[in-house]
Amino acid sequence: MSFPHAFRPARRLWGALTLLSFTPLTARAQTKTERPAYSVAAEADAISFFIGGYSGIVNLTLRNGFQIAVGTGSYDVPRFLTEGDKNNDVAEWQARSTSVQVMRVGYRFRGPMRSGPALAAVVLNQNWRLRSESLGGETRFRPLSVGLSGGYYAKFGKHFYVYPTAAFTRNHVVSGSPSLHGVAYTVEKFGPNASIHAGWEWGR
């Protein structure tokens, strides 16, 4: 009897078990490799297009979840926001953010190209034009807002996503005056805001 031939079934069984033991590791390694090193997205605040404005944002997300986004835009301030001012009955304010620059720096919990939550510090630098026909004039001022923003990336297909966000910021007028002929418009020291972003993301 030849012992090598006698042990062939055992060797085959051992080989199969060894292969199976490495299969999960190989699959995990492939999954990790296939995860993109980073993604770049072209993004916009969809709401701005419905209130007489525009928006454009560039968004970079790294594999470790770090994210930075910068953008610009413009919009008409909705009437329901200015109507809450204590002097609106006299002034009947009409406001427009003639330009806004935004920067978000934060963390995307599931990394690039995936649905998941995100949290970021946000800075908004705006230039406001405030008009009043009843007071016969306009004024301009620049509010700066700094705070926290959170949202959820909802992916639809490989590239398209919708990113609803909510933020809470501290607001401060850094130049100009929110007052016209002695009638002041109140810029709240703290306040919430919300937006719905839509974007197209490429991974590499």
Do 51 and 16 share a structural domain? no
What are the pLDDT digits (tens) for 131-161? Answer: 999 999 999 999 999 999 999 999 999 999 9
Do 87 and 63 share a structural domain? yes
Do 100 and 28 share a structural domain? no
Do 25 and 113 share a structural domain? no
Q: What is the mean pLDDT of residues 9-29?
A: 45
Do 123 and 167 share a structural domain? yes
Do 133 and 53 share a structural domain? yes
Residue 152: the pLDDT is 99
What are the pLDDT digits (tens) for 68-84? Answer: 999 999 999 999 999 99
Do 122 and 93 share a structural domain? yes
DSSP label at residue 78: P
Do 44 and 27 share a structural domain? no
Residue 10: the pLDDT is 46
Q: Who's near 28: CB < 8 A, 6+ residues apart? A: none
- Say if residue 62's pLDDT is above 90: yes
How many domains are contained in the chain? 2
117, 151 Cβ separation under 8 angstroms: yes
Range of the domain at 7: 1-34
Report the percentage of the chain scoring pLDDT > 70. Answer: 83
- CA-to-CA separations, 175 to 128, 142, 169, in angstroms, rounded: 10, 5, 18
Residue 21: the pLDDT is 46
- Say if residue 20's pLDDT is above 70: no
Do 28 and 79 share a structural domain? no
What type of residue sits at position 29? A
24, 46 Cβ separation under 8 angstroms: no
What are the pLDDT digits (tens) for 164-190? Answer: 999 999 999 999 999 999 999 999 999
- CA-to-CA separations, 134 to 49, 94, 128, 175, 181, in angstroms, rounded: 28, 11, 19, 24, 11
Do 175 and 78 share a structural domain? yes
